[in-house]
Amino acid sequence: MNAQRYQITASTSLILLIALCLAWEGWLAPLKPGGSWMILKGAFLLFPLFGILRGKRYTYKWLSLFIQLYLMEGLTRATSDSGLSQGLATGETLLSVVLFASVVLYIRATRAAPDKEKAAQSN
């Protein structure tokens, strides 16, 4: 696969994760009736959105670390919650894994070739 496919996969999974987090904590299964401050977890994902959509490598790099918080939260709540919240946590976990994998693969696909390979190619 090429870098463009990884970018599309990362963008799609990030947008879906934002929508899931906002819907989950907003009205589907919030921690407290009427919503809670946990809705901000979806808002924090808006920060890397435009960098991901534009293919900025730096954004991909720091998102690969940041997304692990969502993976941990999803795993924790998937094993401790019940009902709809457990299903939403499983969805968060799956989307986080897809996003993490596509981000790492994008970073690998867009890295510069080492200097030795560049020299060999120019000869």
Between residues 113 and 7, which one has the greater pLDDT?
Answer: 7
Q: What's the confidence (pLDDT) of residue 38?
A: 86
pLDDT tens digits for range 93-106:
999 999 999 999 99
- For range 72-97, the mean pLDDT: 96
pLDDT tens digits for range 15-53:
999 999 999 999 898 888 877 788 899 999 999 999 999
Domain coordinates in residue numbering, the chain:
3-112
Mean confidence (pLDDT) of the chain? 91
Identify the band that residue 67 occupies on the pLDDT scale cut at 50, 70 and 90. Answer: very high
3-state SS, the chain, equals: CCHHHHHHHHHHHHHHHHHHHHHHHHHHCCCCCCCCHHHHHHHHCCCCHHHHHHCCHHHHHHHHHHHHHHHHHHHHHHHHCCCHHHHHHHHHHHHHHHHHHHHHHHHHHHCCCCHHHHHHHHC
Share of the chain above pLDDT 70, in %: 90
